[in-house]
Amino acid sequence: MSSTKITGSGTYLPEIILANQSFLDHHFYDAEGVTIPSSNSEIIEKFQAITGIEERRYASKDLSSADLATQAAETAIEDAKIDRETLDYIIVAHNVGNIKAASCQVDILPSVAARVKTNLGIKNPRCVAYDLIFGCPGWIEGMIQAHAFIKAGMAKKCLVIGSETLSRVVDASDRDSMIFADGAGATIVEARNEQGGILSHLSTTFTAEGEADYIYYGTANQKTSDQTKYIKMQGRKVYEFALSNVPQAMKDCLELSGVTIDKVKKIFIHQANQKMDEAIVKRFYRLFKTSAPEDVLPMNIEKYGNSSVATVPTLYDLVVKTNFKGHTLASGDVIIFASVGAGMNINAITYQV
């Protein structure tokens, strides 16, 4: 039985750790440029209570998104024990490209994927490298595309990476900036003559009611700069959108697989906001008229923050390799990957280990 399976995974989490206390000396403003009256300690306390984030990782100034992606890719290639020259595709998901520290220039020329292929020293010209811009669900969408290539007979081995250096585009005067982080996660997916792998997938894009403007590039809240280089979001609208639409997308995806809800062992959901993720999973199970198991939802947002496209593959890698917080996976286990982000895009995969 032909299947698309993950045969290797890798993670690169930067060494610079910023705890929430690092933001105590910031000056926070609202979107209109008005100083937020609450004290920074109150802002940070509320932020942590909602998001669950205690600290996040930032890349050092000398490292680019391509560098982080390369590190994760090297680990995944070693884990899969493959010859890198046999890779058919390198798909790199990101949002802000290879932007340098203290720069307002987004750099995606050449593509981050082309830079990664160069860094990996791959000589085979038939190893095709390209970037994928799909918001936070980018790595999952890359997995779906790799699966399509494999099912179509166009590929046997693909490297899918989610890499982000969001610290380069955070607005220090915006309290929402505390949510974002840097990191990279990579997977090798291969065609295998065995059961399991990707059982079903679903992708959606919502734009009819202004959703495309929920997460965007904008100017600083403190009106001293006109540089349009900062990641911005309408937090309340993102939260409400996710709760209204992600559970149904996950349900539709699971039903496409033919697997029943009681067989789902773990849900690897984009680490965007702890309360939001917990609410999404509760609503997902409610659609099946049942309750979520206590151990179904691994979370690492408290230590690593929201690294966008990197959150799902890094969390998966931690669980697979480190017995992360007691979460484990065994052969035959059914899991769900799911994400939501800029676009607004939602996607999900039902996967059997």
277-327 pLDDT tens trace: 999 999 999 999 999 999 999 999 999 999 999 999 999 999 999 989 999
Contacts of 76 by beta carbon, 8 Å cutoff, 6+ apart: 8, 9, 10, 159, 186, 187, 188
Residue in the structure block whose two tokens are 């959901």 = 269
User: Cα(101)–Cα(156) distance, rounded to whole angstroms?
Assistant: 37
Q: What is the mean pLDDT of residues 134-145?
A: 98
> What is the pLDDT at residue 222?
87
Q: What's the chain's length in residues?
A: 353
Domains along the sequence of the chain with CATH: 2-195 (3.40.47.10), 198-352 (3.40.47.10)
For the segment 146-170, what is each residue's pLDDT rounded down to a tens digit?
999 999 999 999 999 999 999 999 9
Among 6-20, 105-119, 149-163, 198-212, the range scoring the smallest mean pLDDT is 105-119
Under 8 Å between Cβ of 232 and 176: yes
Phi/psi at 88 (5° precision): -90, -35
> What is the pLDDT at residue 107?
79
Alpha-carbon distances, residue 324 vs 107, 185, 254, 328 (angstroms): 35, 16, 25, 7
> DSSP 3-state assignment of 203?
strand
Of 306, 327, 345, 347, the active-site residue reads: 306
> What is the pLDDT at residue 225?
64
Under 8 Å between Cβ of 335 and 266: yes
Q: Global pTM?
A: 0.94
Under 8 Å between Cβ of 277 and 297: yes
> What is the pLDDT at residue 1?
66
pLDDT for 103 beyond 80: no
Residue 306 is among the residues annotated as catalytic for this protein:
yes
Average pLDDT, the chain: 95
Of 20, 94, 127, 136, the active-site residue reads: 136
Of 95, 270, 273, 327, the active-site residue reads: 270
